[in-house]
Amino acid sequence: MTFKLTPKQEAQLSLIASDATHVMAYGGSRSGKTFGFIRAIMIRALAHKSRHAILRYRFNHIKASIVYDTLPKVMELCFPGVADKSKLDKTDWFYSLPNGSELWFGGLDEKERVEKILGNEYATLYLNECSQIPWASRNMAVTRLAQKTPLRLKAYYDCNPPGMAHWTYRLFVEKRDPDRRTPVANPGNYAALLMNPQDNAANLDQRYLEELQAMSESMRRRFFLGQFADASDTALWTLELLDQQRVVDGSLPEMARIVVAVDPSGVSGEEDKRSDEVGLVVCGLGRDGRGYVLEDLSGRMAPAQWGDAAVSAFQRHEADAIVAEENFGGAMVAEIVRSAGARQGISVSYRPVKASRGKIVRAEPIAALFEQQKVSLVGLFPELEDQLCAMTTAGYVGSRSPDRADAMIWGLASLFPAMTKPEFGIGGRRAPVVNVGYSSMKKRRA
């Protein structure tokens, strides 16, 4: 069977061949965006000896999605025979072609890896799933688009559209500088194309398209229709707000306090798709007086699993306490933490919290901390951020429950008791800390 590009991929190829240096394909899930860009990079790499960078926020994601999935498919369908003469270096993670060209793969989530990748210059830069990549990281990567070859310098971008406050919308749709909000100097240098799964229907199972159409309205608009989400006036958080103080270089102050916050659910395990996830988020209070969201470990875990995960995080971060919401399960939550501490031989400081008011009332003072630039996300947390952006003054508008957001809110509320209200159960007259483990543990701070 002869390989053939879809009509929309042909349009993508035409845009790639245009005078625009920066080309973005945005739209729904599995619309052929990534395949088209990887194919274009291979054409360039085989035409002239050159170096090309393919980057994503997390390195493990690019290994799974590009190195072991899309790239082999592109080679098999479009460049048969070339793969046998090419080599993948799994130490430095680059793919070398017969003519000496190299495709380098990297994640922007670790400082050492970023420095290693960006020590080179490239003829092509490809930011895959750039809705997950902070604006500062994008700017840093673009500085390496500088290799001198017969090829024109090109930067490719793709994403499932986030909100209109995201830099991808500002730069490619509004043609404005995301920092200054002023028009870009050369708007023709930024070109964008909408590509949706319907455009790639010939290569997809019809049932997959039906699944996308059956999603919640906000998810359907993003992953099926490829629409950027409106920045709601009633939203407590926006992507722009979350990006303002985001820490992407790993540079943090010493932590004065750290808590592991848990929002339990009735989920029985990973296979239980009907129940909500267990929210499990690590938060810290820096010596600079600011809050930091350090890790999101939420997921579908049976009680023993989330107990072990919470206690492991407590030990790994040398935390001061595990804070758990007890409206669900009451004393059972304390017993889960106690049992996990016993299994791991760790003395765990545990504080129960209990809510007497709704989620939005609890969320508002924490959102105010973000607006006052007193809290930073340390890295990128897509699922957590989606839940935060779905919290509005009128209620939560996301799908299922905001378990991750609830856990973060409990954690930050325990670190900023003066900002919270009595209904948290952790303000003024907060519940006492009790030790529920077995062995002693060296304290992290005096």
* Whole-number Å distance between alpha carbons of 125 and 104: 10
Residue 429's pLDDT band (boundaries 50, 70, 90)? very low
- pLDDT value of position 440: 37
In total, the chain counts a number of residues equal to 446
- pLDDT value of position 326: 77
pLDDT 10s digits, 242-292: 988 899 887 899 999 999 999 988 665 555 555 678 999 999 999 999 999
- pLDDT value of position 261: 97
* Whole-number Å distance between alpha carbons of 73 and 343: 45
- Share above pLDDT 70 across residues of the chain, in percent, rounded to a whole number: 88
pLDDT 10s digits, 291-312: 999 999 999 899 999 999 999 9
pTM of the model: 0.62
Query: Would you say residue 346 has pLDDT above 60?
Result: yes
Query: Would you say residue 434 has pLDDT above 60?
Result: no
Query: Would you say residue 445 has pLDDT above 50?
Result: no
Among 263, 304, 253, smallest CA distance to 400 is for: 263
Mean pLDDT, rounded, of the chain: 88
Between vectors from CA 247 to CA 305 and to CA 442, what angle results, nearest 5°? 50
* Whole-number Å distance between alpha carbons of 415 and 426: 9
The β-bridge relationship of strands 395-396 and 391-392 is antiparallel
Instruction: Indicate the burial class of 398 (C-beta count within 10 angstroms; 0-12, 13-18, 19 or more).
Output: middle
What domains lie within the chain, and their CATH numbers? 7-223 (3.40.50.300), 239-435 (3.30.420.280)
Query: Would you say residue 325 has pLDDT above 60?
Result: yes
Alpha helices in 200-251 (DSSP H): 206-213, 217-223, 239-244
pLDDT 10s digits, 88-114: 999 999 999 999 999 999 988 777 777
